[in-house]
Copies of this chain bind each other. A is one copy, B any other.
């Protein structure tokens, strides 16, 4: 009789993180997805453009941890809807110079508080001590 030692999926850390992350992302996405016709990838691109003002597509990819194909597609949508302004870099015609338009800022200023509220709601389930441990743990687990 062999010993199979099955994995307890519901205790398995990678699995739990995956479930948690998906649950949260879906909850947030539902809030703005339809309301602003904005995908998660598009929102991430807008968030970094809000933060850094002007970036190239490659820089957006770096800062969002998305691959360049995803960024390219998100940008196509954002430029088409007039939320992002794309110009050509003066000294390098390969590069784009990206920034939020006025309407892009308007969307950003509406969505950012929603996102923050979701985060607060999530953290509210933890006490202050747990919150600070979580911070520390994520720093350690997330590759530099």
Contacts and interface: CB of A to CB of B under 8 A. Distances in A.
Interface of A: 2, 4-10, 12-25, 28, 44, 47-48, 50-51, 63-65, 105, 108-109, 112, 115-116, 118-119, 122-123, 125-126, 130, 133-134, 136-138, 140-143
B122 A14 contact: yes
A47 B6 contact: yes
A42 to B, nearest CB: 13
Instruction: Name the prevailing secondary structure of the A interface residues.
Output: helix
Copies in the complex: 2
Given A12-B119, A21-B21, A141 B112 contact: no
B142 A20 contact: yes
B19 A17 contact: no
Contact of A130 (B28, B112, B140): B140
A30 to B, nearest CB: 13
B134 A137 contact: yes
